[in-house]
Amino acid sequence: MALTSLPRTLAHAAGNARAWLRRDPSVIQAERTPFEVIHQQDIVRLRYYPPLPAGQIEVDGEMMEVATTAQPVPLVLVSPLAVNMLIYDLFPERSLMRYLRARGFELYLVDWGRPGRAQDHWTLGTYIGDLLPQMLTKVREHSGSQKLSLHGWSFGGLFSLCYTALSRDPDIVNLALIGAPCDYHANGVLGEQYQRLAAVMQWIQRRTGWQVHQSKPALWRSPGWANSLLFKLTAPVASARSYAELLTHLGDREFVSNHATNSAFLDDMVAYPGAAVQDILQYLWTDNVLATGRLPLPHCDANFSDVTANTLLVSGKQDPIVTRACIAPIQTLVNSDDVSLLEVPGGHMGILGGSQAAKAIWPAVADWLLARSGEQSEATTRGVA
């Protein structure tokens, strides 16, 4: 490097660093796919993604035909708690929403919003039995279709499965459950921690009669910054390495842009409402109710055996947050004639929007849905060219 070019190089790197720190829109590539908010209830918004222009889109470096015929069964993506919606539309060439829309799905996304103190009384039942049914009613009104497919990642999968059991909704045709938890005590290293916590919680209850629901929900609120930190601690070496690589590539605008886009998701998680955390601690981690097909709701007689929808379970081979052993019991707990488990590469985020998802995961899930959503046109059966 010529000595005279050093100041210019340093200035360029400093400019990229400032853009990264400020989350400058010029370096954030997420949410480029157009959508409309067709309904809002409190902080919860329902998005609709209109058809893409005819032609082709780029998916992970290759061209893909855009379907010209809509599938008859709309697809509703049910998001989890704690995350922002960037993961669904992270990069223009690696956007799950663009991909699914190009495959011909009438596409909706439930965005739970950013819970504040005013939502600390929201329980898991609020999402499963109140908010999600309202959103699905609006989807049906907007689409004109009673039949729906649900695509749920992480807690979104849990919500989708529990709603279908609770409502006994016969018009939920398909459930695509991506990294959806079930048996928390069988969840690898984390499962061992849940078992230890359960032993402590049960000991306290036996000795004192106290349960977590007897305290104020606001005390259990989990803020967004804490959720971001805990997520990164599931892979601390990889997290540290990514920031070290950023420092050595500050002169590369494309690298900085990619890192800033991923960070816009990872560094900006949202809070869990306090009452939802109480339910997680008691019903999921301590009582492990899902492992026997019960719902994480008080005084509820619904069971996973009430689910008859076609069910696809997707498990990440490198997922430490929801392992295959945690997911697998759903196969025998639901009452469907069509249940399958697909093991794919990736961790908990990677199985939805990681670098391998566009080729290793999205086509398999979309093909499974298309095969169970009515007649397929020639356009919708084409994969990445």
Q: What is the mean pLDDT of residues 47-72?
A: 91
Alpha carbon distance 265, 207 (integer Å): 43
Q: Where does the pLDDT of residue 248 fall: very low under 50, low under 70, confident under 90, or very high at 90 and above?
A: low
**pLDDT of 384 higher than 80:** no
- Please, are residues 118 and 270 in contact by the beta-carbon 8 Å criterion? no
Instruction: Write the pLDDT tens digit of every residue in 319-344.
Output: 999 999 999 999 999 999 999 999 99
DSSP string of 344-364, one letter each residue: ESS-TTHHHHSTTHHHHTHHH
By the 8 A CB rule, do 73 and 145 touch? yes
Burial class (CB in 10 A: 0-12, 13-18, 19+), 301: exposed
Considering the chain, what percentage of its residues have pLDDT values greater than 90? 69
Q: List, in sequence order, every beta strand (DSSP E) within the chain.
A: 36-41, 44-49, 56-59, 62-65, 75-78, 107-111, 148-153, 172-178, 310-316, 339-344
What Rg do the C-alpha atoms of the chain give, in angstroms?
22
What is the average pLDDT across 129-156?
98
Domain map of the chain by residue range?
Answer: 32-188+300-370
Residue pair 310/335 in contact (Cβ under 8 Å)? The answer is: no
Buried b (16+ CB within 10 A) or exposed e, 247-265: eebbeebeebbbbbbbbbb
Whether pLDDT at 36 is above 60: yes
Which of the four pLDDT bands, split at 50, 70 and 90, describes residue 263?
low
Whether pLDDT at 294 is above 90: yes
Contact present, 43 and 114 (Cβ < 8 Å): yes
Segment 376-383 mean pLDDT: 36
**In the block, residue with structure tokens 């998680």:** 269
Per-residue confidence (pLDDT) for residue 26, from 0 to 100: 57
Tell me which CATH homologous superfamily contains domain 32-188+300-370. Answer: Alpha/Beta hydrolase fold, catalytic domain (3.40.50.1820)
